[in-house]
């Protein structure tokens, strides 16, 4: 049985619903695991997973062992990570403060280093623990991802940097955040069938959003329905269905910038 690991975030459960429920051409059983993106990256580094959601930052190191599928990725405009704070008012102050990050190998952390440099005082924690930590004054700032961009103001926080806005102005590309990878040890025929079924699954979800919603709610736990729908609208788009030339160009640009900065092999 093949191992599949994805996040419980609405964009992943939306995309995989039909595949997991037997509504696509993929009929083989899957051993499914849900995990936070930092844990998913760690699973891939462990090498015992066949299909997995992974940060593009992590994939830059994992490319010899995993191939990137053409479907399932999170890229887009206006959807980048934010650096938020309660006390700091100037982005220049970040180089002297403590910044909570959602994982060493998240793309958000890579983008932060590309902008501000490698010599930062970073503290790793789960993405959903970051805003409370900033609000409580445990850290000076936080690098937030996922649905946090919709709710940070509820915690009395302000945005100091929009890394997506910076990336778009700097490169002209959509911001590449994460994708679905397959182990290179798998037969290519299986990888191709899985990728095709994932595209079918995304198409099914777009055409049957009301059917998919309860599944997303089940795994999004206490997320507000409006926030969940906004999450899907932001992170599931044409690049999710198919990376295409523009999507792959954005990823190539990220690879090249990371290499020049000494942040990936």
Q: Among the options 57, 146, 173, 231, which is catalytic?
A: 146
For 74, which DSSP code? Answer: E
Residues 212-240 as b or e (16 or more Cβ within 10 Å = b): bbebbeeebeebeeeebbebbebbbbebb
For residue 262, the tally of other CB atoms under 10 A from its CB is 9
Instruction: Identify the H or E element spanning 151.
Output: none
What is the distance of C-alpha 29 from the center of its chain? 25
CA distances from 124 to 34, 105, 130, 144, 149 (A): 20, 10, 9, 12, 18
The answer to whether residues 4 and 30 touch, using CB atoms and an 8 Å cutoff, is: yes
The answer to whether residues 5 and 40 touch, using CB atoms and an 8 Å cutoff, is: yes
Strand 2-6 to 30-34 pairing: parallel
Q: Is 146 a catalytic residue?
A: yes
Catalytic residues: 146
């Amino acid at each position: 049985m093949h191992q599949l690991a994805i996040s419980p975030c609405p964009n992943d459960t939306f995309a995989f619903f039909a595949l997991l429920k037997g509504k696509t051409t993929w009929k083989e059983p899957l051993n499914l695991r849900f995990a936070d993106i930092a844990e998913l990256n760690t699973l891939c580094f462990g090498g015992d997973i066949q299909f997995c959601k992974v940060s593009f930052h992590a994939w830059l190191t994992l490319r010899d062992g995993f191939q990137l599928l053409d479907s399932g990725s999170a890229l887009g405009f206006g959807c980048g990570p934010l650096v938020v704070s309660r006390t700091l008012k100037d982005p220049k102050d970040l180089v002297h403060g403590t910044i909570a990050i959602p994982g060493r190998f998240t793309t958000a952390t890579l983008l932060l280093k590309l902008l501000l440099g490698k010599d930062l005082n970073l503290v790793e924690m789960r993405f959903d623990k970051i805003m409370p930590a900033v609000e409580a004054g445990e850290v000076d700032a936080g690098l937030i991802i996922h649905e946090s961009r919709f709710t940070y103001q509820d915690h009395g926080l302000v945005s100091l940097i929009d890394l997506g806005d910076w990336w778009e102005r700097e490169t002209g590309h959509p911001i590449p955040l994460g994708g679905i990878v397959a182990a290179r040890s798998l037969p290519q025929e299986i990888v191709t069938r899985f990728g095709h079924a994932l595209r079918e699954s995304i198409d099914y979800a777009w055409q049957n959003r009301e059917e998919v919603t309860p599944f997303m709610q089940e795994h999004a736990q206490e997320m507000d329905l409006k926030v969940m729908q906004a999450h899907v609208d932001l992170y599931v788009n044409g690049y999710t269905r198919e990376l295409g030339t523009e999507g792959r160009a954005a990823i190539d640009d990220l690879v090249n910038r990371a290499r020049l900065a000494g942040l990936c092999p």
